[in-house]
Amino acid sequence: MLNLKNMIYLPLILIPAIFGLFALLKPKVKGIELCGVCAAVSITWLILLLAVFILIIPVSPLLIGILMGMSVIGGLSKAEPWLKKQNVQHIPLIKIIVILGGLYTIYFLLEQEWKKLIITIVISAIALLISKIKMPPKS
C-alpha cells in the first residue's frame, strides 16, 4: 500500500536506477557534460514532485525539499569553475543569491504558495542581474 512512510525509500531505488541508466547511455551520447549523480538526484525529485502534484501520491515534502536542496548546492559547485572561466565577478555574492533564492523557491513550491514562488523567482533573477551589472569589478 502506498503511504507516506513507504515513500521515503523511493530515492533508494530511483537514484541508483537512474544513475545506472545514465552511466549506460552516457558513452553512447556525445557532448553530454552532465554529472550522473546530479542527473539522478534531479530526476528523482522531479519524479517525486510530479507524483505529488499530478498523481496525488503521498510523498513527504521534506524528502523532496532535501533532494532539491542537494541539486541547488550541486549546481552551484558545478557552475563555480565555469563562472571563474567567464571572469564573473563577485561569485560569493552570486552563490548567496542562488542559495537563498533556491531555498525560498523550494519552500514556496512545496507549500504551493504560487504568488510567493513567482515573486521569489523574480527577485532572485533581478538580484543576479544587479550583481552582474552594478557591482564594480574586484581590484
What are the tens digits of pLDDT across the range 40-73? 999 999 999 998 888 788 888 999 999 999 999 9
The Cα–Cα gap between 109 and 115 comes to 10
First vs last C-alpha separation in the chain: 61
- Which grid coordinates belong to 19? 544513475
The Cα–Cα gap between 29 and 52 comes to 31
The Cα–Cα gap between 81 and 85 comes to 6
Work out the burial of residue 83: count CB atoms within 10 Å of its CB; fewer than 13 is exposed, 13-18 middle, 19 or more buried.
middle
Task: Say what the pLDDT of residue 5 is.
Answer: 62
Lowest-pLDDT range of 12-16, 22-26, 29-33, 132-136? 132-136
Determine how many CB atoms are found less than 10 A away from the CB of residue 19. 19
Q: Is the pLDDT of residue 139 over 90?
A: no
